[in-house]
Amino acid sequence: MKSFYGTQLSNPLMLGTAQYPSPAILEQAFRDSGAGVATVSLRRESGAGQTFWQMICELGVLILPNTAGCHTVKEAVTTAHMAREVFDTKWIKLELIGHTDSLQPDVFQLVEAARILTEDGFHVFPYTTDDLIVGERLLAAGCEVLMPWGAPIGSGRGLNNEYALRAMRAEFPDVPLVVDAGIGLPSHAAQAMELGYDAVLLNTAVARAGDPAAMARAMMLAIEAGQLADLVDPIEARDMAEPSTPVIGKAFLS
């Protein structure tokens, strides 16, 4: 597994902290998932109070604050600075939304904000599209990680464009890549890891499940399975059948 700005993750699952029925269920989900990173929205959860922030810090995992809800470079940069003060971390998930319905990133502002934050010492995790040129621009701006979406945030649609995600993995073989957003089922998470991605970031699929803790564990197991499948060099798909038993020396019955 690749390192993220020099840090090795204990588990390639990055789990969000929003929308859970209760703080106790959130804690249980993190315990059952073994998630290595907790993502936290400073703007959308700012009214949760000091008790909530303390609980997040006590989860015993790496904290990745994000700039969810930001629509301009200024908003994102200001939120990132606030997050650095609250959580004492250089890590920031840079989310800069350009389209209200799809929550698609505004990649033009994203690149500019990434450049500003990187120059200011942040370790930027940009939530982006699966566009190769945008990926190149973000890396040139100083990012060392790319987080392309699988599908729109909260949609649960899985990997909408597997071809593009494969192309991104092939284009940036040495860059840590995270599928961020759109995961709805454990099979989606496994598929992302089978493509050779280094981690998966999700929230809604766990937080809004009938049993968040059980779904969190299912996601963890699926990610482990997908990661192992990628490492063992799986067979390629074929258009025709191929016998699984030997045909040489086969006895012919008259």
pLDDT band at residue 235 under the 50/70/90 scheme: confident
- Any binding-site annotation on 182? yes
- Any binding-site annotation on 98? no
DSSP notation for 52-108: HHHHHHTT-SEEEEE-TT--SHHHHHHHHHHHHHHH--SEEEE--B--TTT--B-HH
Measured on CA atoms in the order 108, 121, 88, 124, is the torsion positive or negative? positive
- Average confidence (pLDDT) over 93-101: 92
Share of the chain above pLDDT 90, in %: 76
pLDDT band at residue 2 under the 50/70/90 scheme: confident
Instruction: State if pTM tops 0.85.
Output: yes
- Average confidence (pLDDT) over 76-105: 93
Q: What is the CA radius of gyration of the chain?
A: 20
pLDDT at 102: 86
Kindly report, residue by residue over 9-64, the tens digit of the pLDDT.
989 999 999 999 998 999 999 999 999 999 998 765 555 567 777 888 888 899 99
Domain residue ranges in the chain: 13-232
Q: Catalytic site residue 90?
A: no
pLDDT band at residue 239 under the 50/70/90 scheme: confident
pLDDT at residue 248 greater than cutoff 80: no
pLDDT at residue 119 greater than cutoff 90: yes
Length of the chain counted residue by residue: 254
Q: Of residues 2, 74, 90, 93, which has the active-site annotation?
A: 93
- Any binding-site annotation on 11? no
13-232 CATH choice from 3.40.50.720, 3.30.160.20, 3.40.640.10, 3.20.20.70 = 3.20.20.70
Q: How far is CA 27 from CA 66, 99, 220, 224, in A?
A: 19, 32, 15, 21
Sequence-ordered alpha helix ranges (H) in 106-179: 107-119, 132-140, 162-171
Kindly report, residue by residue over 122-157, the tens digit of the pLDDT.
999 999 999 999 999 999 999 999 999 999 999 999
pLDDT at 208: 95
- Any binding-site annotation on 164? no
